[in-house]
Structure 1
Amino acid sequence: MRAVVQRVKHARVTIKDTISGQIEQGFMILLGVHEEDTLEDAQYLAKKIAQLRVFEDEDGKMNLSIQDISGAILSISQFTLYAQTKKGNRPSFIKAARPEIAKPLYEQFNTLLIEQGITVETGEFGADMAVELLNDGPVTIVYDTKE
Structure 2
Amino acid sequence: MSLTLNVNGVDHSLDVDPTTPLLYVLRDDLGLNGAKFGCGLGQCGACTVTVDGKAVFSCLLPALAARGRRIVTVEGLGTAAAPGAIQKAFETEQAAQCGYCIAGMIMRAKALLDANPKPTEAQIRAGLQPNLCRCGTHMRILRAVRRAAGLPSEPAPVRA
- Normalised TM-score (structure 2): 0.22
Larger Rg: 2
| Bigger fraction of residues in strand | 1
| Bigger fraction of residues in helix | 2
- Normalised TM-score (structure 1): 0.23
